[in-house]
């Protein structure tokens, strides 16, 4: 198992048990999991919901492996843009 720190921006924030919105999570993931598994674990519908993913301040791709202690930031599409550009850099 690995621990991944996730920062959710804007509309990707998730409700906490007390009803507030969480923007920071630490998730337990399996060694060998990718960005795709992380988004699935967060129930984020890609590519229509998440548009930009960064790991340790660098653009991530869907099949990128996660490592213990990674800092993952998820940004939604704020307006306009092309859904086909999801995680292409």
Over residues 33-55, the pLDDT tens digits come to 999 999 999 888 765 555 789 99
Number of folded domains in the chain? 1
State the residue for tokens 């996730």: 6
CATH code assigned at 30: 3.10.20.30
- Cβ atoms of 31 and 37 within 8 Å: the answer is no
Residue 49: what pLDDT?
56
Residue 33: what pLDDT?
97
Structure tokens at 54: 């960064």
Those residues of the chain that have pLDDT short of 70 are 46-50, 78-89
The pTM score is 0.79
Residue 76: what pLDDT?
85
Residue range(s) defining the domain that contains residue 32: 2-85
Report how far residue 59's alpha carbon sits from residue 18's, in angstroms, rounded to the nearest whole number: 33
């Amino acid at each position: 198992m690995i621990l991944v720190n996730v920062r959710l921006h804007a509309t990707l924030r998730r409700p906490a048990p007390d009803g507030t919105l969480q923007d920071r999570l630490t998730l337990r993931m399996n060694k060998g999991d990718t960005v795709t598994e992380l988004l699935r674990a967060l129930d984020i519908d890609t590519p229509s919901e998440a548009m930009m993913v960064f790991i340790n301040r660098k653009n991530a791709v869907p099949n990128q492996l996660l490592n213990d202690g990674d800092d993952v930031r998820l940004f939604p599409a704020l307006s306009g843009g092309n859904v086909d550009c999801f995680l292409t850099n």
